[in-house]
C-alpha cells in the first residue's frame, strides 16, 4: 500500500466530530498502512491544551478500537496541538511555523490537508487567512475538507463558495456528505451498472415509482437547539436524499471516474423539477412529532424537547414527490421521506416495477374469494443498519390451486463483513488523500440542490398552515400516506404495521 505523506490541520480539534469520527478514522488508516510514518496532525481550537493533553484525548477516542499501548502511543505521537482563535491573524503565523517544522521533521513534501470541523460561519475567515498568512506554499498539494451544512440556502451557499473558491480551486475542495462514503450508497452504482437485468429496465417503461426512506427512531436528543434552526428539509433532503436520488437517476457514465460520474450527477439534479409554490403544496408535506408510545417506550413530543422553542414550527419529518423531467424518467414519481422519532431506524430504497400487462391469475368466475391483485416486483436496497438488497417476485404457491405467493430473493452483507467495512469517514479521508473527489459533492450539485429545496422552504415559510403532526413511534403523518395513495401507490416499507398488529403502537 502506498504511504500518504501529509500534514492534516484540523480546525475544531476539540469538538464532537473530531473526537467521534476523525481521530478513530485516522487511526484506522494508520492501522491499515495508509498512514505510516510521514504524517502529522495539527489540532487547533480555542482551548489551551498542551500536546500531551491532546495526545491523551486522541488515545481516549481510539480506545474502543483496542489498540495496543505501543500502537496508541506511536499513533498519537504524530499529533500536535496549537491553541487558536480563528479570528486572530497572528495565530495563523504560529500555525504556519509549526506546519513548516512538522513538514521538515516528517518529510511531508508540502502536502497539506485542512479539515474545517467547526461552524460554517468560520469557513470564510479561515480560508482567507490561510491565503493571507501564506500558509499555501507552492510545494505539494493543498486541499480543504468542508463539513456540512454548506450554506443555509442558495444565496448563503453561493457566498460561501465564492469565499472558498477565491483561495482553493474546485478540485482542491472536498465537500463532505458522509452518506457518499457509505458502503451501500457506493453499491448503488454496482447494482445498476453491473447488472443488465436492472439497467435495461431502469426507466419509465418498466418502473412505476421509486421510494427513498431515511428513517430515524431517535428524537433530537441533545441537539434540539441546532435542529430547531434547521429542520428535516435542510438537514436531510437538501444533501443526503438528493445525493441518493442523483445516483439512482443519473445516466450511466462513460467511465467510472470522478469527472464522468460528477458530470452525470449534475445532469440528474438539473433534471429534477424546481417546483412552483403550487406544486410544492401538492407534492410536499411536513410533520412534527407529538408525544407517543412504542412498545414499552414513552416519548416526549418535539415541542417538549430541551432546546426547542415551545411554539416551534420546525419540521421533524418531510415527505414529498420529486418529478424528473427527462426522457428516462418522465412520469415516474420519486417519493422521499425522512423523519425523527419514526418506528425504526433505517435507510432504504425501494424500486417498484410495473405490473405485467395482463394478470392471467385472476380468480375463477364464481369463486368464493377473489384472488388478490399481483404484488409488484420490488428491488430493495438496504443502506443501513442492514446492508444488502432484495428482489421480490411472484411464484406459485405449492398445492393444487394456482395461488400466487410473493417471495423474496434476499442478500445481506454478513455481520463480519459489516464489521470489517471501513467507516464512511475513513473512506472519505482516504479519498481526499488520494485526490479523488468522486464521493464528495461538486459545487454545481450543491447549488442545484439548494435551488430545488429553497422553493419548498419559502413556500412553507410563507404558508399560514403549520406542520402536520404525528405521534412519536409512527411512520409520519397521515398526509405522507395520502401523498402516494392519490397516485395509486403505497409505501413499500411499513415497519409500524408489526407494532400496530400487536397493539404496541
Ligand atoms: P462542536 O461544537 O463540537 O466543535 C466546534 C469546534 O470549533 C470546537 O473545537 C471549538 O473549540 C472550535 N471553535 C469554535 N469557535 C472557535 C474559534 N473562534 N476559534 C477557534 N476554534 C473555535 O461541533 P462539531 O459537532 O464537532 O461540528 C463541527 C462541524 O461539523 C459543524 O460544521 C457541523 O455542522 C459538522 N458536522 C458535525 C457532525 C457531528 O457528528 N458532530 C456531523 C455532521 C456534520
Question: Mean pLDDT of residues grouped by 10 in the chain (505 residues)?
Answer: 88 95 96 95 96 97 96 98 92 94 95 94 94 87 94 96 96 94 92 95 98 97 91 97 98 95 97 98 98 95 95 97 98 98 97 92 64 86 94 92 90 87 91 96 98 98 93 98 97 95 92
Sort residue 157 into left (φ over 0), alpha (ψ -120 to 50) or beta: alpha
Considering the entire predicted model, what is its pTM? 0.94
Domains, the chain, ranges and CATH? Answer: 6-147 (3.40.50.720), 180-353+440-501 (3.30.360.10)
- Supply the pLDDT for residue 371: 60
Cα(116) to centroid(ligand 1), Å: 8
Residue (of 433, 442, 503, 457) closest to 180 by Cα position:
442
Which one of 9, 10, 12 would you pick to mutate in the ligand 1 pocket, going by the greatest count of ligand atoms within 8 A of its CB? 12
Cα(176) to centroid(ligand 1), Å: 14
Q: Are 336 and 352 in contact (CB under 8 A)?
A: no
**86 CB under 6 A from ligand 1?**
yes
Contacts of 208 (CB under 8 A, 6+ apart): 332, 352, 353, 354, 355, 376, 489
**120 CB under 6 A from ligand 1?**
yes
Measuring from atom 3 of ligand 1, which residue has the nearest CA?
Answer: 15
Grid cell locating 472: 412519536
Contacts of 429 (CB under 8 A, 6+ apart): 22, 25, 26, 29, 145
**424 CB under 6 A from ligand 1?**
no
What are the Cα distances from residue 74, in Å, to 30, 64, 82, 203? 10, 17, 20, 53
Measuring from atom 11 of ligand 1, which residue has the nearest CA?
Answer: 45
CA distance linking residue 381 with residue 399, whole number of Å: 32
- Supply the pLDDT for residue 370: 62
Query: Is residue 216 annotated as involved in ligand binding?
Result: yes
CA distance linking residue 253 with residue 261, whole number of Å: 6
- Supply the pLDDT for residue 368: 60
HSE-CB for 486 with a 13 A CA cutoff: 10
CA distance linking residue 190 with residue 199, whole number of Å: 10
Cα(13) to centroid(ligand 1), Å: 8
Residue (of 332, 326, 327, 284) closest to 477 by Cα position:
284
CA dihedral 204, 206, 207, 208 (to 10 degrees): 90
Neighbours of 174 (CB within 10 A): 23
Q: Are 384 and 184 in contact (CB under 8 A)?
A: yes
Cα(275) to centroid(ligand 1), Å: 34
Helix (H, G, I), strand (E, B) or coil at 306: coil
H or E segment to which residue 470 belongs:
strand 468-471
User: Could you tell me what percentage of the chain is helix, strand and coil, using 3-state DSSP and rounding each to the nearest 5?
Assistant: 40, 20, 40
Grid cell locating 344: 425504526
- Supply the pLDDT for residue 417: 86
Q: Which atom of ligand 1 is nearest to the CA of 13?
A: 9
**119 CB under 6 A from ligand 1?**
yes
- Supply the pLDDT for residue 189: 95
Query: Is residue 244 annotated as involved in ligand binding?
Result: no
Phi and psi at 263, nearest 5°, equal -60, -40
* Enzyme catalytic residues: 240
55 has which bridge partners?
none
CA distance linking residue 207 with residue 204, whole number of Å: 5
HSE-CB for 43 with a 13 A CA cutoff: 29
What are the Cα distances from residue 234, in Å, to 143, 205, 439? 26, 33, 20
- Supply the pLDDT for residue 50: 96
**46 CB under 6 A from ligand 1?**
yes
Amino acid at each position: 500500500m502506498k504511504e500518504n505523506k501529509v500534514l492534516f490541520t484540523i480546525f475544531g480539534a476539540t469538538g464532537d466530530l473530531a473526537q467521534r469520527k476523525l481521530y478513530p478514522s485516522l487511526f484506522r488508516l494508520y492501522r491499515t498502512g495508509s498512514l505510516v510514518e510521514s504524517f502529522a496532525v495539527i489540532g487547533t481550537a480555542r482551548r489551551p491544551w498542551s500536546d500531551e493533553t491532546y495526545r491523551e484525548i486522541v488515545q481516549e477516542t481510539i480506545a474502543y478500537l483496542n489498540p495496543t499501548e505501543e500502537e496508541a502511543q506511536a499513533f498519537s505521537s504524530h499529533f500536535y496541538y496549537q491553541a487558536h482563535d480563528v479570528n486572530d491573524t497572528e495565530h495563523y503565523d504560529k500555525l504556519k511555523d509549526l506546519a513548516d517544522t512538522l513538514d521538515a521533521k516528517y518529510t511531508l513534501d508540502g502536502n497539506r490537508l485542512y479539515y474545517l470541523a467547526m461552524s460554517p460561519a468560520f469557513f470564510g475567515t479561515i480560508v482567507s487567512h490561510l491565503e493571507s498568512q501564506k500558509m499555501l506554499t507552492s510545494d505539494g498539494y493543498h486541499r480543504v475538507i468542508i463539513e456540512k451544512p454548506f450554506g443555509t440556502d442558495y444565496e448563503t451557499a453561493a457566498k460561501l463558495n465564492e469565499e472558498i473558491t477565491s483561495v482553493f480551486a474546485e478540485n482542491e475542495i472536498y465537500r463532505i456528505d458522509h452518506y457518499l462514503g457509505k458502503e451501500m450508497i457506493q453499491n448503488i452504482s454496482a447494482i445498476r451498472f453491473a447488472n443488465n437485468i436492472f439497467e435495461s429496465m431502469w426507466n419509465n417503461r418498466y418502473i412505476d415509482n421509486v421510494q427513498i426512506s431515511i428513517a430515524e427512531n431517535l428524537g433530537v436528543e441533545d441537539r434540539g437547539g441546532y435542529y430547531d434552526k434547521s429542520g428535516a428539509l435542510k438537514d436531510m433532503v437538501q444533501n443526503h436524499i438528493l445525493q441518493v436520488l442523483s445516483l439512482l437517476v443519473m445516466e450511466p457514465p462513460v467511465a467510472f471516474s470522478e469527472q464522468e460520474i460528477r458530470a452525470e450527477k449534475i445532469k440528474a439534479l438539473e433534471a429534477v423539477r424546481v417546483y412552483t409554490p403550487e406544486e410544492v403544496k401538492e407534492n410536499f408535506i411536513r410533520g412534527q412529532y407529538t408525544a407517543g408510545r412504542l412498545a414499552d417506550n414513552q416519548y416526549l413530543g418535539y415541542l417538549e424537547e430541551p432546546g426547542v422553542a415551545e411554539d416551534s414550527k420546525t419540521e421533524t419529518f418531510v415527505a414529498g414527490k420529486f418529478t424528473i423531467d427527462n426522457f428516462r424518467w418522465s412520469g415516474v414519481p420519486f417519493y422521499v421521506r425522512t423523519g425523527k422519532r419514526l418506528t425504526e431506524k433505517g435507510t432504504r430504497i425501494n424500486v417498484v416495477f410495473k405490473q405485467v400487462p395482463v394478470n392471467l391469475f385472476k380468480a375463477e368466475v364464481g369463486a368464493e374469494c377473489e384472488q388478490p391483485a399481483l404484488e409488484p416486483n420490488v428491488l430493495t436496497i438496504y443502506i443501513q443498519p442492514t446492508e444488502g438488497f432484495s428482489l421480490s417476485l411472484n411464484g406459485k404457491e405449492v398445492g393444487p390451486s394456482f395461488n400466487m405467493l410473493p417471495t423474496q430473493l434476499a442478500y445481506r452483507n454478513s455481520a463480519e463483513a459489516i464489521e470489517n467495512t471501513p467507516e464512511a469517514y475513513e473512506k472519505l479521508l482516504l479519498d481526499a488523500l488520494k485526490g479523488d473527489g468522486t464521493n464528495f459533492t461538486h459545487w454545481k450539485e450543491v447549488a442545484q440542490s439548494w435551488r430545488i429545496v429553497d422553493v419548498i422552504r419559502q413556500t412553507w415559510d410563507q404558508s399560514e398552515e403549520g406542520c402536520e403532526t404525528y405521534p412519536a413511534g409512527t411512520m409520519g403523518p397521515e398526509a405522507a400516506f395520502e401523498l402516494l395513495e392519490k397516485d395509486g401507490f403505497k409505501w413499500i416499507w411499513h415497519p409500524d404495521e408489526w407494532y400496530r398488529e400487536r397493539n404496541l403502537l
